Structure 1
Amino acid sequence: MRGPRLRPGDRVRVVSPATFPSAEWAEQVMDTLVGWGLRPELGKHALDQRGFLAGSDEDRLADLNAALRDPGVRAVVAAVGGAGAYRIVDGLDFAAVRADPKPVVGFSDITNLHLALWTATGVAGVHGSVGTGGRTDESCRRLLFEAEPITVQAEPSPVTVAGRATGILVGGNAGAVSNFLGAGLPRLDGVILCLEGPQNPHFDRMLWGMLRAGLLDGIRGVAVGDLIGLDPSVAEPGPDQAVAVIRTRLGGLGVPILGGLPFGHVADQVCLPVGVQATIDTDAGTLTAGAVVR
């Protein structure tokens, strides 16, 4: 499902489903949206602080559902990721999403929302952020305002396995994907799985668990983003170990793997549409994905 493309003057709600942003960062996100000609509104609890969370689970969920239910709100932007979105996925108003689909923008821990929304409704979203400038903002703006495919060029990567494949682009942060093992992640038949994020022993466990559970049976391909790594506390974290893990766990699937894509926890990332049909072509080094909006 896709919502209508954004137009100047549209209302957009900025919420904090996970960790709280600083007031300065929230203002930067809002200013960026104003610069696009939109009318951003800050969720009631977006700046609340409760431990590492932006307020209670009930308040964060209320903000998000209020945005999903409001027919005047045409897109929902997560101010930041962090942690905690997984705590509210069971309370999402999926009926409201089916009745009035609209894109949700966010990455990192917000991958939990993308997976829950796609699993329950098939709605398309944007894996990325707003407010950092450069090609990140430009790619996000384009995805929200234009009903056109997007092509992302990959850098040469040792993780690549040659081939070409088409399927529904699903995934995002590897840690968030692992949250859904045994918690509602369907088999990924016909999917191109996109992955980025912390490269540590947990990453290897996640891929092992998905393979053992049969979730990757019928997968069409894999698109790999940032492999810089987020967790320096584990032994020997880093891109080299991630490459070995991916080759060991996924190399035997017999599907194309396109590495070196500029999405995830990397400066000036490219925002990706998720929940839409996409094609990876390792000869061209490209990922081409359909429109998030109609």
Structure 2
Amino acid sequence: MVIRARKLKRGDTVGVVAPASPPKQESLGKALSFLEGLGLKVKLGSSLHKTYGYLAGTDEERVEDIHTMFRDPEIKAVFCACGGFGTGRIASKLDYELIAGNPKIFWGYSDITFLHTAIHQNTGLVTFHGPMLSSDVGLKEVHEKTKETFRQLFESKPVEFSPTLSPVEVIVEGKAGGPVTGGNLTLLVSTLGTEYEVDTRGKILFIEDLDEEPYKVDRMLNQLKMAGKFRDAEGIIIGDFKNCEPDKRKESLTLDQLFDEYIRKAGKPALKGFYIGHSSPSLAVPVGSYGKIDTSSKSFIVESGIKEKDEA
């Protein structure tokens, strides 16, 4: 069963948390002003100002922040300030009954991928793989399309990814449809063998990553392949792989060679080149909503991840 949170409207209160690493405070301040500019009131989680090594507080503190936001009837959406490290540590500590009983918009990406997978597969709630407040919206210069992608939280209409923004390439021709799942490649691989293992059966899988050398991308794609994740998927979307260039090993395969080896040979309709992930612009994807791939038009369209307020 798929659950959608109700759309936002001006005057709503939203919560901001740090489920992984602590955000840069200056960048966060700018991002909070952006949310307020959308007509939203902002409530801050206590973890935003805590540090525990590379984490924004202990596991228990970060979990309680999330629970507090979902428990509070005033809060209509929960935005993650940044990614970093540590969400896999708290997945088993979350109260999924609480989350399912209080469906709200949950937004973030990168390390938050683990929580998108865990929350959707355990509750049916559609979550949003979208640009981070501190590390994307809080930058000195923010692409207008990055800002515009937040509009999908206010309007219940399909999210369309077209080849007009970036050069989209066809890896495997065809059409495919299914619920959308995926996110950061490193985090998806980290779910394998756990009770939160990403399920790609009958789904559209999208992947992206940052600062991973090709030999590491090779290893991770191979692991997904051996786990049957490409075989089980209906279609595949390759997002941005920013700075995934050879460094330690100068003699290297290219990313295109790797995508040819793993994605093309999987034989599922596949497109490459959308601004999804650590890119500028960074476009949000509703995880759990139904998506369609059509390589003839190089399009990727996903049903809205929210519902109208007056729906049951």
TM-score range, shorter chain: over 0.9
Counterparts of 1:1-294 in structure 2, within 5 Å, are 1-129=3-131, 130=133, 131-132=137-138, 133=142, 134-140=144-150, 142-154=151-163, 155-157=166-168, 160-183=171-194, 184-198=196-210, 199=212, 200-230=214-244, 233-236=247-250, 241-294=254-307
**Paired-residue identity, %:** 33
Alpha-carbon offset, residue 201 of structure 1: 2.2
Q: Take 1:233 and 1:91, find their aligned partners in 2: how far apart are those partners? A: 37
Alpha-carbon offset, residue 233 of structure 1: 4.7
After superposition, the C-alpha distances for 1:249-280 in whole angstroms (9 at most, x for unaligned) are 12222211110101111122112211110111
- Contact 1:187/1:217 (8 A) holds in 2: no
SS at match of 1:104: strand
Please list every run of 5 or more consecutive structure 1 residues that lacks an aligned counterpart in the other structure.
none
The TM-score normalised by the length of structure 2 is 0.88
Q: Take 2:246 and 2:57, find their aligned partners in 1: how far apart are those partners? A: 28
- Contact 1:173/1:264 (8 A) holds in 2: yes
The TM-score normalised by the length of structure 1 is 0.93
- Tell me which stretches of 4 or more aligned residues in structure 1 moved more than 4 Å: 230-233
Residue of structure 1 in register with 2:310 after alignment? none
SS at match of 2:183: strand
After superposition, the C-alpha distances for 1:53-105 in whole angstroms (9 at most, x for unaligned) are 11111111111111122222111000011111111111112101211211211
- Contact 1:22/1:47 (8 A) holds in 2: no
Q: Which moved more, 1:212-221 or 1:55-64?
A: 212-221
Alpha-carbon offset, residue 156 of structure 1: 3.2
Please list every run of 5 or more consecutive structure 2 residues that lacks an aligned counterpart in the other structure.
308-312
Residues 104 and 236 (structure 1), Cα distance of their counterparts in 2 relative to 1, 3 Å cut: farther
Alpha-carbon offset, residue 237 of structure 1: 9.2
Alpha-carbon offset, residue 4 of structure 1: 0.5
Alpha-carbon offset, residue 160 of structure 1: 2.1
- Contact 1:46/1:60 (8 A) holds in 2: no
After superposition, the C-alpha distances for 1:15-43 in whole angstroms (9 at most, x for unaligned) are 00011112112211211111111111110
After superposition, the C-alpha distances for 1:147-180 in whole angstroms (9 at most, x for unaligned) are 1101011333456221111111101111111111
